[in-house]
Amino acid sequence: MIALNVNGQPKQVDVEPDTPLLWVLRDSLELTGTKYGCGVAQCGACTVHLDGRRVNACLVLAASADGHEVTTIEGLAAGDELSTVQRAFIDHDGFQCGFCTPGQVMSAVALIKEGHAGSDAEIREWMSGNLCRCSAYPQIVEAVKAAAAAGDAV
């Protein structure tokens, strides 16, 4: 049994020692915004924040997150009010199919907070762990720039 704080709420989950955090979020807690793409830390679709730092949830063992804070894409909006980064992705068409988008948004939030949104090249470098099969990369950069300029890194 592990205890997590997920999106500000305490959760207790019974897990196997080798269960990735991704499956606890998606299957046990029904937070299906976090996506499964590759399962081997190659695509970024499963990006969440663990104690404020981005991680690939497919790679992190749930047991190792015991006692820690997890933020998923569901934790960004305030009710029906989208966060700044979420709104920027919509305003700048930062997606096509949308499958990679939760991971892209979680990475974007982190890199803005980390101060890595200083130029297009820097944004591309720090977003490089998040793949987009629809190749929405130019629009994603525009969305990240706009969100960073808004000065509200959520």
Task: For ligand FES, give the closer residue by CB, 111 or 136.
Answer: 136
Buried b (16+ CB within 10 A) or exposed e, 130-139: bbbeeebbeb
Among positions 40-69, residues that touch ligand FES (CB under 6 A) are: 41-46, 56, 58
Task: For ligand FES, give the closer residue by CB, 85 or 132.
Answer: 132
- Residue 95 in the binding site for ligand FES (CB under 6 A): yes
- Please state whether 19 falls in left (phi above 0), alpha (psi between -120 and 50) or beta: beta
Q: Which stretch binds ligand FES (CB under 6 A): 4-12, 25-33, 64-72, 98-106?
A: 98-106
Binding mask 109-138 for ligand FES (x = CB under 6 A): -----------------------xxx-x--
Residues in the chain: 154
Q: Is 130 helix (H, G, I), strand (E, B) or coil?
A: coil
Task: For ligand FES, give the closer residue by CB, 127 or 148.
Answer: 127
The count of chain residues that interact with ligand FES, using the rule CB under 6 A, is: 23
- Check: CB of residue 46 under 8 Å from CB of residue 57: yes
- Residue 144 in the binding site for ligand FES (CB under 6 A): no
Q: Which of 37, 71, 72, 85 touches ligand FES by CB under 6 A?
A: 37
Task: For ligand FES, give the closer residue by CB, 63 or 129.
Answer: 129
Q: What is the DSSP letter of 35?
A: P
- Check: CB of residue 100 under 8 Å from CB of residue 133: yes
Task: For ligand FES, give the closer residue by CB, 8 or 18.
Answer: 18
Which amino acid type is present at position 32? T
Query: Which residues lie near ligand FES (CB under 6 A)?
Result: 36-39, 41-46, 56, 58, 95-101, 132-134, 136
